[in-house]
Amino acid sequence: MNVTVKPEYIEADGTTLTGRFPVSFELEGYSSGKRRNDVKVGMVEPARLQLWDLASDEGRFHGGDETAPKPLALFTAGVVTCFMTQMRTFARQCGVQVRGLNTKARFEWYAQRNGQDPYVAHPNKFVLDIEFDTDSSLEAQKHLIRTAAKGCFAEQILSVDLVHRLKHGDEWVVCELD
């Protein structure tokens, strides 16, 4: 992780937005050599924020130069950080006082190639492990995870079941979302 950033947790305010509001992003991109892609991307609604330069590349075994993260590294980071952000957005409202938040995730797909046909991508298993530094009850933490899942824009458009596991003492507890 970025060594220039201290792992300091600062309690976040909840959202003040009400009713129905749009959340939109725009991207422009181009292929920039071998397997690299360069994109410019940012929020346009409800507020226009700065655009960010991001890039993807492939490893050498896929014909790239590994000058940037693979697309699925960006994707995985997008899903997990969206979820982390929403856990913080809704923590206070769910009665969970958080002093720290750590996550681990493993996203697994497989590809199936029949003969020399182009391969087809399939989902396999998607697990997100969550560890709060908190004195709040397990029930309150589970409530927060359910709330964050419903408020997570990324998870809400995934067709796969993301398994959420919560560290409780020395155990990992699976949180059912329903």
Please return the burial class of 142, using the count of CB atoms within 10 Å of its CB with bins 0-12, 13-18 and 19+. Answer: buried
By CB under 8 A, name the one of 140, 154, 163, 173 that touches its own copies.
Answer: 154
Closer to its own copies by CB, 19 or 169: give it. 19
* Residues in 63-122 at the binding interface with its own copies, rule: CB under 8 A: 63, 66, 68-82, 84-85, 88-90, 93-94, 98, 100-113, 118-122
At 79, which amino acid appears?
V
Q: Is residue 160 within the footprint of its own copies (CB under 8 A)? A: yes
Smallest separation (angstroms) from its own copies to the CB of 117: 9
Asked if 122 contacts 98 with a C-beta cutoff of 8 angstroms, the reply is no
Asked if 43 contacts 24 with a C-beta cutoff of 8 angstroms, the reply is yes
Q: Is residue 8 within the footprint of its own copies (CB under 8 A)? A: yes
- How many residues sit close enough to its own copies to count as binding (CB under 8 A)? 110
First to last CA, the chain: 33
Q: Cα separation of 55 and 157, whole Å?
A: 23
Binding segment for its own copies among 15-23, 134-142, 166-174 (CB under 8 A)?
Answer: 15-23
Smallest separation (angstroms) from its own copies to the CB of 33: 5
Longest dimension (CA), the chain: 56
Smallest separation (angstroms) from its own copies to the CB of 173: 19
